[in-house]
């Protein structure tokens, strides 16, 4: 994963989360929240799969590569949780 792609992913999700929080209609806010969470999960899955593909390129996955995959997964889950918590406020 290059840093520009990661920055675009995070920026897009943050923008979507901000727009969700600014919605005035509760129904639209819930729909937007659902789409934001779905988008975050899709980005997380693609990032994890990208790391796994890179790790398997040489035929084996090292401990450092597994730690990187785990960190990406944990960060992505925390990001989704933060978006849900911020929207509830």
Q: Is the pLDDT of residue 1 over 60?
A: no
pLDDT tens-digit readout, 53-69: 888 888 887 888 888 88
Is 0.85 topped by the overall pTM?
no
Say if residues 44 and 73 touch (Cβ distance below 8 Å). yes
Q: How far apart are CA 78 and CA 20, in angstroms?
A: 18
Which tokens is 51 given?
A: 């790391």
Which tokens is 82 given?
A: 């933060």
């Amino acid at each position: 994963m290059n840093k520009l792609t990661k920055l675009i992913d995070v920026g897009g999700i943050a923008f979507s989360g901000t727009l969700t929080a600014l919605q005035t209609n509760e129904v639209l806010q819930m729909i937007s929240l659902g789409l934001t969470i779905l988008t975050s999960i899709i980005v997380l899955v693609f990032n994890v799969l990208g790391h796994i593909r890179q790790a398997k390129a040489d035929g084996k996955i090292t401990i450092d590569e597994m730690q990187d995959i785990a960190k990406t997964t944990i960060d992505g889950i925390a990001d989704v949780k933060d978006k849900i918590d911020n929207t509830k406020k």
